[in-house]
Structure 1
Amino acid sequence: MARIPKLISGLKTLMLLLATGGSSATVSAQPAAVIGETTITYQALEQHVKGQLIRLEQERYEILRAGLYELIGDQLIALAAEAKDQTPEQFLADEVETKAAQPDSAQIQEVYNSNKKHFAKTPIDEAIQEVTEYLVGQSKQRRYREVLAALEEQHAPRVNLRPPVLEVGTGGRPSLGDASAPITLIEFSDYECHYCKTAEPVIREVLETYGDKVHFVYRDYPLDFHANARPASQAAHCAEQQGQFWAYHEKLMASEDLHQEQYQAIADEVGLDRAKFDACLTSEDFSEAIDRDIADGEAVGVSGTPAFFINGRMLSGSQPFARFKELIDEELERIAGE
């Protein structure tokens, strides 16, 4: 148990050295701990917790980014209010409170009907009031975003905060698009993961929208607690062996029931040689490749699925198309300005 406080202390020291400008060579050379004749260097320590440190840095960036956009929003509102000789509160009252669309009775009833179980023990008058307040709040948020978007377009704030960028290899895995495309989108995924399945149509929309600007790479990251994820990855590799990875992948992702008979049924659907496929399915031919994908994912901070990297910028979890668009557009703009 004593090693946990020491490890935390070592991490604090490491982060302090990094934050105060200590060179990586100096940090790496310093001992984090000494046991007898054995020295544990900061280089060894940092390598041991590399994935955690990457996630920590990504979390730090997300916090800074959210805070920065709050401050930008406050400043834009202040400028707009000043131009109208108003306080920010007066400006928001005029532009958001007054102009936000009010829900009509049909909208209120629709939301109430869709959530009757939630309101089972609530008097109907209170339930309707709660639904109304919810819809009004949603409307005000939408109006606030519209106002901010217009002000951002007017003032064009320059954002210098840069995200962490990681070196993420493609691992020679199946891909779509030209490898020389300006955007490389890498996904670490799991065939048994619900959120990975919901991400599929979003990825298709990204590829349809950006065409030859995006090179998409799929990498395996079967989670330990998904018993069928690794066998499913093996099956996909077996399909890849016969040049049918993407056709097989699409049907596998759409399948809710993963087992050997299903893998074989999909193999028949996409026209695989069943004898070769069945022999491959029971082999360990691709175990090393799957392990390599997992190790590469862990090395860049992947801890769950799906995990995406857009030109090395991490995007975790099932995200809406708008979030992919935001990051891809930022990268295209950055590349155009180089």
Structure 2
Amino acid sequence: MNRRGAIVATAIVAAGIFAGGTLLWRPAREKSVATPAASTGAPFIRAHAPVLGPNTAPVTIIEFFDPACEACRAFYPVVKRIMTSFPSKVRLVLRYAAFHPTSAEAIRILEAARRQGKFEAVLERLLETQGQWAPHGRPADSAWTVVEGLGLDLAQAKQDAVKPEVTALLAQDAEDVKAAGVRATPTFFVNGKPLQRFGAQELHDLVKSEVKAP
């Protein structure tokens, strides 16, 4: 297991219970690469990017995120715990990086759910059931099959998921991933500063330092 896989394995053990069940970890396939340069503007932040947490928060975590990525699944409760530790101080901006074959469909579902105010609930369901629709090398179910029972109007969502603006968002984020030099997920920036050493404690410490900065 490479260093990133080992760190994420530790993170998932530390994360504990997530949405009523323990997330099972399998080593991530993403490769560790050099950290991209710091930035706060495009291609790092776009107006269309999903935001969790208060828009007025003084600290912004940018996460280049793939819903089919096992490391992203492992780090989701880590990021949520960080945000809970600093209420009103931290927001999360998600940028899509569709590195896996099933990622684009899941992103389309997330964007359709966002139109119905169900983004976070659908995100958590997709992460909980990732092994079903993103099994990495085995036949996969459609991600649509796992988002029932969340109050989502599925008929409307399936129409919204294929709208031109969602296709354009996917294309823009794919361009930004390349422009930002992101080749592994999750990749984090905090107030424009890259996470120099990948790890849950390192991310917490960087956020804490920005929260306490004058």
TM-score (norm 2): 0.71
Instruction: Please state whether the residue corresponding to 2:195 is helix, strand or coil.
Output: strand
Partner of 1:180: 56
Q: Which has the higher contact order (CA 8 A, sep 6+)?
A: 2
Q: Structure 1 pair 269/301, CA: closer, same or farther in 2 (3 Å)?
A: same
Partner of 2:39: 166
Residue of structure 2 in register with 1:302 after alignment: 182
Tell me the amino acid that sits aligned with residue 64 of structure 2.
Answer: F
What secondary structure, in the 3-state scheme, does the structure 2 residue paired with 1:206 have? helix
Q: 1:110-147, CA deviations, whole angstroms, 9 ceiling, x for partnerless residues?
A: xxxxxxxxxxxxxxxxxxxxxxxxxxxxxxxxxxxxxx
Secondary structure of 1:302 counterpart = coil
Aligned to 1:234, which of 91, 108, 112? Answer: 108
Q: Deviations over 1:203-224 (max 9, x none)?
A: 111111111110111121111x
Structure 2 gap segments, 5+ residues each:
1-32, 134-139
- Number of the residue aligned with 1:311: 191
CA RMSD of aligned residues (A): 2.4
What pairs with 1:1-338 in structure 2 (closer than 5 Å)?
58=35, 165-167=38-40, 168-223=44-99, 226-255=100-129, 256-258=131-133, 261-266=142-147, 268-315=148-195, 319-320=199-200, 322-334=201-213, 336=214
Question: Please, which runs of 5 or more residues in structure 1 have no aligned partner?
Answer: 1-54, 60-163
Number of equivalences: 172
More helix per residue: 1 or 2? 1
Please list the CA deviations of residues 4-29 of structure 1 after superposition, one character each: whole Å capped at 9, or x if unmatched: xxxxxxxxxxxxxxxxxxxxxxxxxx
Question: Is the 8 Å Cα contact of residues 177 and 212 (structure 1) preserved in structure 2?
Answer: yes
CA separation in 2, counterparts of 1:238 and 1:176?
16
- Cα distance in 2 for partners of 1:193, 1:317 equals 19
Question: Distance between the aligned counterparts of 1:230 and 1:249, measured in 2?
Answer: 14
Q: How high is the TM-score relative to the length of structure 1? A: 0.47
Shift in CA distance, 185/254, structure 1 to aligned 2, threshold 3 Å: same
Question: Highest Rg: 1 or 2?
Answer: 1
CA contact (8 A) 2:106 2:143 kept: no
Distance 1:229 1:309 in 2: 22
